[in-house]
Amino acid sequence: MKYAVADISSSSLSVIIAEDSGDGIEVTGKEREPLSLLYYMDGDKLSRRGTEKLVSALSQMKSRLKEAGVGRCWLIATAALRHISDFGEVTEAVRAATGLEMNLIDGRAEAYCDYVANMRYSSEGGAVLVDLGGKSMEICALGKGKEGMTCFDFGLLDLYEKFADGKIQPDEDEAKKMGKYASSRFDKAGLPREGEYTDLVLVGQTCGAIYDMYAEFTDEPKSDGVKVMDRKKFGKLFRRLAHGADRSRLILKTAPEKTHVILPAAAVIKKLIKRFDVERVTVSDRGVKEGYLALVLSGDESGSYYDFDGKRSEGAPRGVADDLPEKQTKKRGRPKKASANAAGAAKKRGRPKKASANAAGAAKKRGRPKKASANAAGAPKKRGRPKKQIT
């Protein structure tokens, strides 16, 4: 059977197709379509137009996967949709139009998927894996399992928006500010420094674009399909990207769709190389999709998939509720106030009745209260003027 995993990231909709070759699952095809949902935000919600763009892209992708003979497809959403407040509404729109269920992946799950996909890069001296995304960054110490993971809630697009001042291409001073900010966040998280790792492994579409630029810049052919960058040569590439006269030409030639995030990525990579004091940087072509597929097929991860043969979705979609204590789903709306009735009786609407002035609790009569009688004996008082006394 052929399998597919589609990922809605901050800058694209990307897909891998894989099948069982007998010796294991092998990726046989990849596809990527630019899709910048972050530019279709309305406050903390995805706009109607953004939802339409997403549904359209997924519908076209689904048709291509069917033509390719895919049997099952998992749809995952990472940082791009992780914090939107209308995730439920967007999920329903996607389900109604395509039949696909979105599985929302949190930061630690995303880091673990990257980890599983890149265990082949583990080394005796120690290797660290870094996934540079648009809205998040995940850093994993390969060989240390889930204990060696650190997740950051900022990414390359955040650096661009924070420091680029609206420019298409940040300048050298802005790149320095980006690197300094990233370093401060790494310090705050207690990220290790030199001596801890000997190899740096990079993951992510932008890192792949950085390598393509590096290969073009150094004019070095790939060796055995492994993408490796030398520390000193990368330093020269960074200087070229930061203030080179032809930097625009170099970027447009190799990664035109990444124009605004190439320099932020290079600035962060430069800081990581210096922090870990590594001489060798490897760029992996495997990431969260490959790791997620390995985990769901092994049963270590669960999620809803679309069955092309049965034309239905199966399995429980993974979502925000999975991260709540004891997996209790949080109800929307304001919580009900505790009843003022200690016995828990139902509270009646309207203004509460005033306490009766009658100590015995007798019903209170309407109208003005009668004046106290001046007759001490309580005899009825006669109307009219009082008679004059005869003297």
Given a cut of 60, is residue 78 above it in pLDDT? yes
- Mean pLDDT comparison of 14-18, 22-26, 384-388, highest-scoring range: 14-18
Mean confidence (pLDDT) of the chain: 82
Given a cut of 50, is residue 167 above it in pLDDT? yes
Give the pLDDT confidence score for residue 375 in this predicted structure.
46
Confidence of residue 366 (pLDDT cuts 50, 70, 90): low
For residues 263, 46, 34, 9, the Cα torsion angle rounded to the nearest 10 degrees is 70
Give the pLDDT confidence score for residue 219 in this predicted structure.
86
Q: Tens digit of pLDDT for each residue in 216-232?
A: 999 877 655 689 999 99
Q: Decide which of 330 and 101 is more confident.
A: 101
307 contacts: CB under 8 Å, gap ≥ 6: 71, 72, 313, 314
Average pLDDT over residues 182-195: 95
Give the pLDDT confidence score for residue 341 in this predicted structure.
42
pLDDT > 70: what percent of the chain? 78
Given a cut of 70, is residue 385 above it in pLDDT? no
Give the pLDDT confidence score for residue 23 in this predicted structure.
75
Give 155-202 as a 3 state SS string. Answer: CHHHHHHHHCCCCCCCCHHHHHHHHHHHHHHHHHCCCCCCCCCCEEEE
Average pLDDT over residues 193-205: 93
Confidence of residue 165 (pLDDT cuts 50, 70, 90): confident
pLDDT > 90: what percent of the chain? 60
Average pLDDT over residues 179-208: 94
Neighbouring-strand partners of residue 314: 305
Average pLDDT over residues 355-377: 47
Given a cut of 70, is residue 114 above it in pLDDT? yes
Confidence of residue 31 (pLDDT cuts 50, 70, 90): very high
Average pLDDT over residues 92-97: 96
Confidence of residue 145 (pLDDT cuts 50, 70, 90): confident
Average pLDDT over residues 81-110: 94
- Alpha helices of the chain — where are they, by DSSP H? 48-67, 79-82, 87-98, 107-117, 156-163, 172-188, 205-218, 231-243, 247-254, 262-276, 288-298
Confidence of residue 144 (pLDDT cuts 50, 70, 90): confident
Give the pLDDT confidence score for residue 368 in this predicted structure.
56
Residue 35 token pair: 């899709």
Q: What is the DSSP letter of 223?
A: B
- Distance separating alpha carbons of residues 195 and 128, to the nearest angstrom: 12
- Distance separating alpha carbons of residues 346 and 207, to the nearest angstrom: 61
- Distance separating alpha carbons of residues 68 and 62, to the nearest angstrom: 10
**Residue 94: Cβ within 10 Å count:** 21
Sort residue 83 into left (φ over 0), alpha (ψ -120 to 50) or beta.
alpha
- Distance separating alpha carbons of residues 15 and 61, to the nearest angstrom: 8
Residue 198 token pair: 């000997």
